[in-house]
Amino acid sequence: MNPQTGLKSPGIGYRLLALPLNLFWILHGLRHGLSYRLPNYLSMRLFGFHSTDANQVWVHASSVGEVRAVTPLVQALLARGEKVLFTCFTASGYQAIRRDLGDSVSSGVIPLENGWQCARFFTRHSIKLGLVMETELWPELLFQARRRGIKLLLINARLSRKSLQAGDYIRRLLASTLGYFDRILTRSDLDREGLLSLGASAQRIEIIGNLKSRVEPMQQQDRLIERDYLILASSHAGEEQQWLEARPAELGDMLLVIAPRHPDRSAKIQSQIERLGLRYSVRSKAQPIGPDTEVYLADTLGELKPLLAHASIVVMGGSFDSTGGHNLIEPASLGRAIITGPSDTNIAGDIELLGPGKGVLQVRDMADCWRAVAELLEHPARAEALGREARSRLAQQPDIVQQYLAAIEPYLRQEPASP
């Protein structure tokens, strides 16, 4: 601990552990960058990147979902004249930033988690305030920001079940890392309780709401598929095969679309489909959908919204394994009938907001999922009512971006830290 500032470092144990882990991150960065056709991903993590703007607001998110959720807030900051440095952890997140915001922000990925590279990140960029999204608790990176006097806010804050159930050392490390934040702006009472259980200061926590609950104006989305179809969206390993294997024979004529959470798993998913003997086409290969196509693998980035918009029913992945579910707000904002599985630690608030059985159907397993699908297809008015209810409930929510902006405003007016 620095006796002058009272700031506690991540500790010698964590820093020693980080040394061999850096080799893992280098190998991960090489493979990850190649998988997403972003060859400079590893070089950004190793050697950094430059931004020339002064007094920037640093916004950091993990991957595509978090990037998209915080982008309206970034746009609001830009509209009020702020300069923004927008970083993420994944290559897909970086590609989403570039695609959605282009040169209106400075963008890159965070450095490797060691003192020298994290310190260099903050000497290369002029930052007056840091906004960190959800669960991106990198101890060294955040410590290096705080020791330079940069104010930090954790926004849309939540903790995963794994974090809350971690061993004593990880819990102490997370508690210490949470102490770097001047303010923790969280989604719900449940999230607040989780943060408090790790030792976060109650005085620093404020419940604002979920940035992912923002409903956008309804816009016409391009129709990418002419046939009627069901979609399994943001699926994880194992879920695709479960879904296909459990399909009832009487629904064999309905086209099934799979949009995996990580498109770089495409080859493995194709192998699973082949073993099941199903006829399929792959979007990344520009293969057409014929009248006999049974499965369409939508293994591209940036096209999920139009795929969701025209689906007869949306089945959300990450909810039939231990992931905890994925954002239900996007399909709800499109007025789609949504089915989600039993794993809901990440989306319990979404389910409550949309209304269990009213704006979203939560099922016990894949067999139950297909029973619900069959019922909705047999009674399309029921599917339409689910979608209308979901969008109506979202439309009644206050402007969440303005609420976050109001909470952030006092920190934007403060003098920037010295580099």
What integer pLDDT is reported at residue 188 of this predicted model? Answer: 86
How far lies 388's CA from each of 19, 316, 348, 359, 396, in Å? 52, 18, 20, 8, 12
Output the pLDDT for position 127: 96
Report all structural domains of the chain as residue ranges with CATH numbers, in order of start: 12-214+399-412 (3.40.50.11720), 229-395 (3.40.50.2000)
Q: Please say whether the beta carbons of 129 and 155 come within 8 A.
A: no
pLDDT tens figures, 120-145: 999 999 999 999 999 899 999 999 99
DSSP 71: H
CB atoms within 10 A of CB 47: 11
Distance between alpha carbon 144 and the CA centroid of its chain, in Å? 25
Q: What is the pLDDT of residue 4?
A: 39
Q: What does the pLDDT read at residue 119?
A: 94
338-366 exposure pattern, b = at least 16 Cβ within 10 A, e = fewer: bbbbebbbbbebbbebbeeeebbbbbeeb
CA 186 to chain centre: 15
Beta bridge partners of 157: 186
pTM of the complete model beyond 0.75: yes
Q: What is the pLDDT of residue 418?
A: 53
Residue 169 confidence (pLDDT): 87
Per-residue tens of pLDDT for the chain, all 419 residues: 554 356 888 889 899 988 888 889 899 999 999 888 899 999 999 998 888 899 999 999 998 889 999 999 999 999 999 999 999 999 999 999 999 999 999 999 999 999 999 999 999 999 999 999 998 999 999 999 999 999 999 999 988 777 777 788 888 889 899 999 999 999 888 889 989 988 889 999 999 988 887 766 666 788 999 999 999 999 999 999 999 999 999 998 999 999 999 898 999 999 999 999 999 999 999 999 999 999 999 999 889 999 999 999 999 999 999 999 998 989 999 999 999 999 998 888 889 999 999 999 999 999 999 999 999 999 999 999 999 999 999 888 878 999 999 999 999 987 655 55
